[in-house]
Amino acid sequence: MAKKKTKWVCQNCGYESPAYLGKCPECSKWGTLIEETDETVSASSIKKQNKVATSKSEPTLLNDITADKSERFSSGYEEFDRVLGGGFVKGSLILTAGEPGIGKSTLILQSCGYLSSKGKKILYVSAEESEKQLKIRAERLNIHADNLFILSETCLENIFETVKDLKPDFLVIDSIQAIYSQEITSSSGSVSQVRECCYSLMNLAKYMNITTVIIGHVTKDGTIAGPKILEHMVDAVICFEGDRYREYRILRSTKNRFGSTNEVGLFNMGEHGLKEVKNPGEIFIAERSEDTAPGSIIVVANEGNRPLLVEIQALVSQTFYPAPRRVSTGIEYNRVLKIIAVLEKRIGLNLSKHDIYVNVVGGIDIDDSAADLGVALAIMTSFRDISVDHKTAVFGEIGLTGEIRSCTQAEIRIKEAYKLGFEKIIIPKGNAPSNLNLKNLKIVCVSRLIEAVSSALQQEKP
């Protein structure tokens, strides 16, 4: 008989405490600890709960194990396949995480449509939407699949029964937070439920060799159990990001046992679902006008292994607060603070009486230190109220002494800027290309921030 006990569990990271705490000592989030009643699970009850994979396994010589390439199959989208490391691996467990409404169900349903047309038997467990709602969505997405079964069910044990009867090749659980196991007393969406359901699904995927996609919601305030607590159990974590109110979505993997985590996929959410963006270079600067305003600069940032030109904007205005405000959207806040400090100390800008707002246009997050130079120039030009020519692009990391440090994949970045018609590019000296002959593109190599500033403003001089 299992012993009942009460514990407080952080819904963000899974930290457990015997008493209530306002702030989680593990992830520093406030108000995320929720009381859960849980059984102390014994080894025999783990076996009972999982119902599968209970037989003793025998060791096999590595050389005797065969794993051929045909064990992978395409998702139907090049962008998705790239992030997966070349398609789905048979029998793997993939977690697709993202904020509610970002398009996770849409992406997976579209992929299911393709897989079913290739003869795969699919079971789509919809724990959030009714069968009718899913049908309406499928019609909107123009999916007419023969081999796609929909199950509107929230109980894990019932789902298992159906899977064992149907024996699908591909299983989707939408979403992990909406299903529950009868063996656990806490409510669905709690850490214990989410963890237990995922563990059982992992065993099922491996035992029956079914490729399984689990959809998991992420909320910023951590009110529901986050996919963080599942990361160690699954083979790959695919995050779907972007601004819900804008059309572009970025797919990236934060963990992948079968491929690189450097790849990203780009999609466009339209009236009829998601479409791939195959040449993403210029999508974020498409709306930019010819006469650039002060405080705007184009940087060549890398998203995964691909260059992406994005506009960075800054607004520097006189402050009315006792301590000036620094707001950053799309670039890490501490990185912006560092750049402001370098501008004050090495360029001599006095920004202590000014509020500074930095924004990456297009609602995307840039996680590339090469954007430093763009942020510095955007702040500097807004402060001085001067503009940089709209045919100029930059990239480079800024060090604390004001030096410009080299970045990865410089040549690819330069070529992308050239392809999109830029006439001047300011790059770190360490990245100076030795053998690159690009007509009409002036490459300026700089080693200090002050040089970059004077080069960017050169056209201002008569």
- For ligand TYD, the binding residues (CB under 6 A) are 98, 100-106, 137, 140-141, 269, 271-273
Token digits of residue 450 = 């002050």
Who's near 401: CB < 8 A, 6+ residues apart?
346
Segment interacting with Mg ion, rule: CB under 5 A, options 98-106, 176-184, 286-294, 301-309: 98-106
- Residue 195 binding result from Mg ion, ligand TYD, none, given CB thresholds of 5 to 8 Å by partner type: none
Contact between 159 and 151 (Cβ < 8 Å): yes
Complex with Mg ion: residue 105 or 359, whichever CB lies closer: 105
Shortest distance (Å) from residue 132 CB to ligand TYD: 15
Complex with Mg ion: residue 105 or 431, whichever CB lies closer: 105
Residue 260, SS3? coil
Shortest distance (Å) from residue 98 CB to ligand TYD: 5
Query: How many chain residues are in contact with Mg ion, going by CB under 5 A?
Result: 1
DSSP string, 82-109: HHHTSSEETT-EEEEEE-TTSSHHHHHH
Determine the Cα–Cα distance for residues 233 and 331; give it in Å rounded to an integer. 30
The yes or no reply on residue 188 touching Mg ion (CB under 5 A) is no
Segment interacting with Mg ion, rule: CB under 5 A, options 99-107, 144-152, 294-302, 307-315: 99-107
- Residue 11 binding result from ligand TYD, Mg ion, none, given CB thresholds of 5 to 8 Å by partner type: none
The yes or no reply on residue 106 touching Mg ion (CB under 5 A) is no
Shortest distance (Å) from residue 143 CB to ligand TYD: 10
Shortest distance (Å) from residue 216 CB to ligand TYD: 10
Determine the Cα–Cα distance for residues 380 and 350; give it in Å rounded to an integer. 10
- Residue 272 binding result from Mg ion, ligand TYD, none, given CB thresholds of 5 to 8 Å by partner type: ligand TYD
Shortest distance (Å) from residue 416 CB to ligand TYD: 29
Query: What ranges in 277-360 are assigned the alpha helix state H?
Result: 333-342
Contact between 240 and 98 (Cβ < 8 Å): yes
DSSP string, 368-437: -GGGHHHHHHHHHHHHHT----TTEEE--EE-TTSBEEP-TTHHHHHHHHHHTT-SEEEEEGGG--SS--
Q: Which residue is nearest to Mg ion (CB)?
A: 105
Token digits of residue 268 = 């466009």
- Residue 137 binding result from Mg ion, ligand TYD, none, given CB thresholds of 5 to 8 Å by partner type: ligand TYD
Q: Which of 230, 215, 233 is closest to 100 using CA atoms?
A: 215
Shortest distance (Å) from residue 107 CB to ligand TYD: 7
Complex with Mg ion: residue 84 or 134, whichever CB lies closer: 134
Residue with tokens 């299911």: 112
Shortest distance (Å) from residue 217 CB to ligand TYD: 7
Residues paired with residue 5 on neighbouring β-strands, in sequence order: 38
The yes or no reply on residue 105 touching Mg ion (CB under 5 A) is yes
Segment interacting with Mg ion, rule: CB under 5 A, options 104-112, 130-138, 264-272, 280-288: 104-112
Complex with ligand TYD: residue 100 or 324, whichever CB lies closer: 100
Complex with ligand TYD: residue 77 or 418, whichever CB lies closer: 77
Token digits of residue 209 = 């060799």
Burial readout 16-49 (b: 16 or more C-beta within 10 A, e: otherwise) = eeeeeeeebeeeebeebbbebebbebeeeeeeeb
- Residue 392 binding result from ligand TYD, Mg ion, none, given CB thresholds of 5 to 8 Å by partner type: none
Shortest distance (Å) from residue 101 CB to ligand TYD: 5
Residues that bind Mg ion (CB under 5 A): 105
